[in-house]
Amino acid sequence: MAQKIGFIGMGLMGVPMAGHLVDAGHEVRVWNRSPGKTDSLVARGAIEASSPADAAANSEITITIVSDSQDVHEVVAGPNGAGEGATEGSIIIDMSTISPSTSKALAAELKQKNVSFLDAPVTGGVAGAEAGTLAILVGGEAEAFDRALPVLEIMGGNVTHVGPSGAGHTAKLANQMLVAGCMVGISEALVFAKKAGLDLDKWFSAVENGAGASWHLSNMAPKVIDGDFSAGYMVKHHQKDLRLILETAGENASAAPMVGLVAQLYRSVQAYGGEEFGHQALAMAIEKLSDVEARR
């Protein structure tokens, strides 16, 4: 059944995600801080909202996907935010990658207004958003999850309720630790192979399906070899994720030495202007340390 849905955040991920909801026949009210980002969706049948509160007004579900914890707090709990416009019994779903402590605080605040909050970050990148195949990691009350599931399944091919409020964002940060580990391993291996004189195409073909296989090896190593550092997920966004991991690890006394190292390597990429490169640009830091480019 068609529902009224608010959607806040028209970035690389938000536009295709909201587009799937429009195409599925839902009434979608869209809002973005920067003007013009909603135009393509309005042309497809979405309604442009004047504020986050307007996007949430009369919506059964309101979705946010913005940059960082403070941005989510602003569009949900700030003046004229979604929490202000949300009606009793509705659901606000944050699909950004933010601090679990922020999502827990927002859930507690909205509960006082009889508005449910789900933290439901995604993984799968722009390609997954465009294809509607994102993995979605959801924290919050089971009843709200069950009500939101049909909408979430339009945007994702693997939707999992992982626990109470904050569990979704915690699960996403753990996923980003895996991403960081994969990317630094791939970068070091490519540079090592190149420096040793191996043909990178032959090396990649030999190891792609071996014990070191991963989604990142299959998808990111060829980009590095081609010198393609275009963004599916920007360095600055992954760096933000690593910061959140280290903050959360500090809160729960969890060791994360690899994450700290990768954050410093990304810092060097940012220092020479690469913060809007794709996160495979981590390889550039290892290349500079080794005085070689891992290209064919």
Active-site annotation, residues: 172
Q: CB–CB of 152/82 below 8 Å?
A: no
Neighbours of 116 (CB within 10 A): 23
Neighbours of 210 (CB within 10 A): 8
How far apart, in whole angstroms, are the C-alpha atoms of residue 102 and residue 165? 10
Helix, strand, coil percentages for the chain (3-state, nearest 5): 55, 15, 30
Rounded to 5°, angle at Cα 29 from 1 and 156: 60
Alpha helices in 27-155 (DSSP H): 39-44, 52-56, 69-77, 82-85, 100-111, 125-131, 142-155
Structure tokens at 116: 């449910």
How far apart, in whole angstroms, are the C-alpha atoms of residue 154 and residue 36? 25
Question: What is the tally of helices (H) and strands (E) in the chain?
Answer: 14, 9
Phi, psi of 117 (to 5 degrees): -130, 130
Amino acid at 121: P
